[in-house]
Structure 1
């Protein structure tokens, strides 16, 4: 938004800004923030930064936790949810050193920066443009509890089919059937106006929207697809989009979750990532003579992503809940393969994207519990490794499979490799296969170790808690 300190201060004066809020991403993918009065924002802030405790972000050990963040004024936006006029901007994490501080190598935003620089250094491309699809549920009521003597959750959504028999309050009868919400129209689509307001808000914050619609999940599953942009910029916009969507819903008395599988038996929420590479402004994924109009480099990129997919999932699908979505029967991919116009494949080539500048493919397994800087960087590094090593996806047995994979015989299905079935399996894969992430010093070895250690603790915590279904299945034995 701004190029200089003076630009920032002129805007603040013109719009009556009283507070400046700084947002930093922690290791797990949540925004943290700190605010200062606008009068405390000085030129030195952009050089020396503001101190904080890095250990609470999952980065630094307690004994060496003093760090600083330096604001990136190009990311500044007006925050529409604060009573006090506030300008918000993202901060980059730096290590305190003499004579000058330096960027912290484990900062997720720094890793995305290094991934883009590494891509340029290879000579393969100078830009990866991506377009995420944001799927999420909007609920009217959510409770959850995890106590030694009681555990469970409860969800409600006005348009859910389970409210068809509600007789205590006025019921107008227009409910959405199980998995029947795709492109459903009003009056069933009671969230249309909210969704439109979300899109207007995204547009006002320089996140161009491609389209929006009700998704398959009847109890309020929505999708907003945004236009393409450079990888790191789109990671910034992914965090901003989630912030805007959740806070607008909250402001209007509703609650949003990007959890991949909040409801048993309903469609899960993914974050499909469309991608293509450019060099000197020209697309390198198009070749009208290639399979589905894809170039050799594009196919090699696909080969790299699929070859490393189990390890990549440790970053693109980093929650235990992620693997409750990646099951057959819900349009979620479970097979490591590629195809055209096939939503049962991990990588889908859109049939409608025909022109050179549009020729691309999407990685369908990812979900929005990820840290977008790490997830997008991991996808890029896997694809670049495929191009460097000339990995042929067909020779590797990855397809193309231009058929419904769920209808193949069991014998045919066993020939196709499957995605990890749990977070632990994905972490096992990352432990065995992460050299491609270390290329060019993009992912630090220590970050991968910390990531695996923290995520195993998450998985263990989930596995250690008795599940309500276990009482139904085993209590009387």
Structure 2
């Protein structure tokens, strides 16, 4: 998937011409050209819809030095090349006069030579997908991003939950059911196939599951999903957040990610009906690769200081580098599969604050490394690892994920495969930003410390 579709005689691809037609049919007057910085923040440039054809043929120029982790001031000129397959009407931007706004996701290109920009997270994922394609595989991914809805006061977010519901609760405890309904309507209008939604374990916490798909589409969808949740929550005067652990003492928000590889003929490479776990040799090698590179992957998939407040024992978040088919205390779970096409593995550590393009790229590259090197997966752990003491974990050979962001960045720097997956530009800028974040955190004095020590010493 991308913007390399067949051109018409007029120089536009068929897909791009279809977008121009849709703009006219839907009375779109403004386009948001969207891209993502290295830290995963969605950025956009708004242009009149009359500039759509120019956007497809020439791109939209912007100052790359203003974007986190892109380029220095003397290298600032960059351009956005919209991917026509990502066109979608923004349902919350329709106006009474019948006009509407739409969104296009763009690839970032160098202005000088027109080539793809190495620091564009979407390009990082495309490189990983090309590697998979060269090996005869396509990636299917199914992310499950969780989020909280909080009350607002004087226009600012609080940590007062919008409801007192629990896991799978119904109204009236789940007061946010109307918000979820409108989010689902919005996602549906933007082309998502929503499969289920429910209240999660913690008060104010929710999950909306949408159908799995190819890797690039899913990364685009995660970025879009976060924007839709925030925008529609704001219409209900509540704040939607994907912060991993906004409240201590309760479950945090994860983004469990289901992964599988398919052949060009649509066969699931991960399925083997003769295996005890219905997993093929390639699936187990892929799984072994993800386990081997798990510490470095954690820096990318759990990229904030707050991420590690979620990754602690006791709150259903995985911290132990192991896999299982029967329990959720392991890092990787083999879910039950009703059909061969559904055979997959579930990586349970990522959280929804991650950059989805970088996260899927490093997961995929780690798994492919396992296949290329023929790594052997360890035996599954069918006991509750949370109940193991340190001696038993050592007996089973179970390591733990990095305990904080600083340790995760150390692991990233030591992992040549994951560093190469990110590319020199992205890896160096990402590490620079995250080192600074962790240093700021270490120097900050928290309310917990004030409460604990101020009157004691």
Q: Same fold (TM over 0.5)?
A: yes
Correspondence 1:450 to 2:432: no
Deviates more, 1:132-141 or 1:403-412: 403-412
Q: Identify the residue that residue 48 of structure 1 maps to in structure 2.
A: 58
Q: Identify the residue that residue 367 of structure 2 maps to in structure 1.
A: 383
Aligned with 1:30 (options 19, 28, 41): 41
Query: Is contact 2:118–2:425 with CA below 8 Å preserved after alignment?
Result: no
Aligned with 1:320 (options 283, 300, 305): 305
Aligned with 2:20 (options 5, 9, 12): 9
Secondary structure of residue in 1 paired with 2:399: coil
| Structure 1 residues 330 and 52, CA gap change in structure 2 (3 angstroms) | same
Written as runs of structure 1 = structure 2, the 5 A alignment for 1:70-109 is 70-82=81-93, 83=95, 85-98=100-113, 101-109=114-122
Correspondence 1:60 to 2:79: no
Structure 2 Cα separation of the partners of residues 372 and 216 of structure 1: 24
Structure 2 Cα separation of the partners of residues 367 and 402 of structure 1: 24
Query: Is contact 2:90–2:190 with CA below 8 Å preserved after alignment?
Result: no
Q: Identify the residue that residue 461 of structure 1 maps to in structure 2.
A: 440
Secondary structure of residue in 1 paired with 2:413: helix
What is the CA deviation profile of residues 186-213 of structure 1, one whole-angstrom value per residue up to 9, with x for unaligned ones?
2211112221222222122111112111
Query: Is contact 1:143–1:155 with CA below 8 Å preserved after alignment?
Result: no
Structure 1 Cα separation of the partners of residues 346 and 325 of structure 2: 10
Structure 1 Cα separation of the partners of residues 22 and 29 of structure 2: 11
Structure 1 length-normalised TM = 0.88
Structure 2 Cα separation of the partners of residues 8 and 158 of structure 1: 38
Query: Is contact 1:290–1:296 with CA below 8 Å preserved after alignment?
Result: no
What is the total number of aligned residue pairs between the two structures? 437
Query: Is contact 2:243–2:353 with CA below 8 Å preserved after alignment?
Result: yes
Correspondence 1:430 to 2:440: no
Say what the alpha-carbon RMSD is for the aligned residues.
1.9
| Structure 1 residues 143 and 136, CA gap change in structure 2 (3 angstroms) | farther
Structure 2 Cα separation of the partners of residues 48 and 159 of structure 1: 48
Structure 1 residue 31: Cα displacement: 1.0
Written as runs of structure 1 = structure 2, the 5 A alignment for 1:225-304 is 225-279=209-263, 280-304=265-289
Structure 1 residue 133: Cα displacement: 0.5
Aligned with 1:19 (options 22, 27, 30): 30
Structure 1 residue 386: Cα displacement: 0.5
Q: Identify the residue that residue 8 of structure 2 maps to in structure 1.
A: none
Query: Is contact 1:142–1:156 with CA below 8 Å preserved after alignment?
Result: no
Query: Is contact 1:144–1:154 with CA below 8 Å preserved after alignment?
Result: no
Deviates more, 1:319-328 or 1:446-455: 446-455
Structure 1 Cα separation of the partners of residues 312 and 329 of structure 2: 11
What is the CA deviation profile of residues 364-397 of structure 1, one whole-angstrom value per residue up to 9, with x for unaligned ones?
0001111100000100000000011111121xxx
For structure 2, the 5+ residue unaligned runs are 4-12
Query: Is contact 1:75–1:89 with CA below 8 Å preserved after alignment?
Result: yes
What is the CA deviation profile of residues 313-354 of structure 1, one whole-angstrom value per residue up to 9, with x for unaligned ones?
111110111000000001000100000131111101112x14
Correspondence 1:311 to 2:296: yes
Secondary structure of residue in 1 paired with 2:74: helix
Structure 2 length-normalised TM = 0.92
| Structure 1 residues 117 and 142, CA gap change in structure 2 (3 angstroms) | farther
Correspondence 1:155 to 2:159: yes
Q: Identify the residue that residue 453 of structure 2 maps to in structure 1.
A: 474
Structure 1 Cα separation of the partners of residues 351 and 162 of structure 2: 25
Query: Is contact 2:152–2:237 with CA below 8 Å preserved after alignment?
Result: no
Structure 2 Cα separation of the partners of residues 226 and 142 of structure 1: 31
Structure 1 residue 436: Cα displacement: 4.8
Query: Is contact 2:320–2:331 with CA below 8 Å preserved after alignment?
Result: yes
Deviates more, 1:65-74 or 1:303-312: 65-74
Structure 1 residue 437: Cα displacement: 4.9
Structure 1 residue 363: Cα displacement: 0.4
Structure 1 Cα separation of the partners of residues 82 and 389 of structure 2: 55
What is the CA deviation profile of residues 11-43 of structure 1, one whole-angstrom value per residue up to 9, with x for unaligned ones?
22222111121111111111111111122333x
Structure 1 residue 85: Cα displacement: 1.6
Query: Is contact 1:311–1:434 with CA below 8 Å preserved after alignment?
Result: no
Secondary structure of residue in 1 paired with 2:315: coil
Structure 1 Cα separation of the partners of residues 14 and 352 of structure 2: 30
Aligned with 1:118 (options 119, 126, 131): 131
Structure 2 Cα separation of the partners of residues 451 and 355 of structure 1: 39
What is the CA deviation profile of residues 389-447 of structure 1, one whole-angstrom value per residue up to 9, with x for unaligned ones?
111121xxxx4101111122442134410001101111000100033552xxx532232
For structure 1, the 5+ residue unaligned runs are 146-152, 161-175
